[in-house]
Amino acid sequence: MFEYEFLHHVSLAVRDLSRSRRFYTEVLGFREIERPPFNSKGVWYAVGTQQLHLLENEQGQALRQSGIDTTDGHFAVWVKSYARTIEALEAAGLQYEARPDSLAGFSQIYVLDPDSNIIEFDSAYGS
């Protein structure tokens, strides 16, 4: 049996690394961290104690091309405040799907990155 300790990172394929870097750094405020000098294009971010790795796939064959479908693959980030996250998304002009009273037991907000990867923001009810 495996003895799991924690989730280390999530990797997402992106079509245009420069465009995605601007989105994750400037719009979402993720902190870029050092990436080893692989023979591929990519950027890594620290998200709390885990990491998000963006990998450029110019062919885009395995990338999503549709809107928010919460049953599709996605990653989730726990945020301190539902209300402040909504404010930040609106200030950035991002469309989102909000579920303040989700059956999940916490509030949920869904957005799409420039390549239609789904990002979920979660927080305690009423935060």
Q: Would residue 88 count as lying in a domain?
A: yes
Residue 55 burial class via C-beta count within 10 angstroms: exposed 0-12, middle 13-18, buried 19 and up: middle
CATH number of the domain to which 90 belongs: 3.10.180.10
Domain that holds residue 37: 9-123
Per-residue pLDDT tens digits of the chain, which is 127 residues long: 777 777 889 999 999 999 999 999 999 999 999 999 988 899 999 999 999 999 998 776 667 778 888 778 899 999 999 999 999 999 999 999 999 999 999 999 999 999 999 999 999 988 8
Q: What is the pLDDT of residue 62?
A: 66
Global pTM?
0.86
Nearest to 64, CA basis, from 122, 113, 23: 113
Tokens of 123: 């927080």
Q: Would residue 50 count as lying in a domain?
A: yes
DSSP state of 125: T
Phi, psi of 21 (to 5 degrees): -60, -45
Q: What is the pLDDT of residue 114?
A: 93
Distance CA 83, CA 107 (A): 10
Q: Would residue 110 count as lying in a domain?
A: yes
Query: How many structural domains are present in the chain?
Result: 1
Q: Would residue 1 count as lying in a domain?
A: no
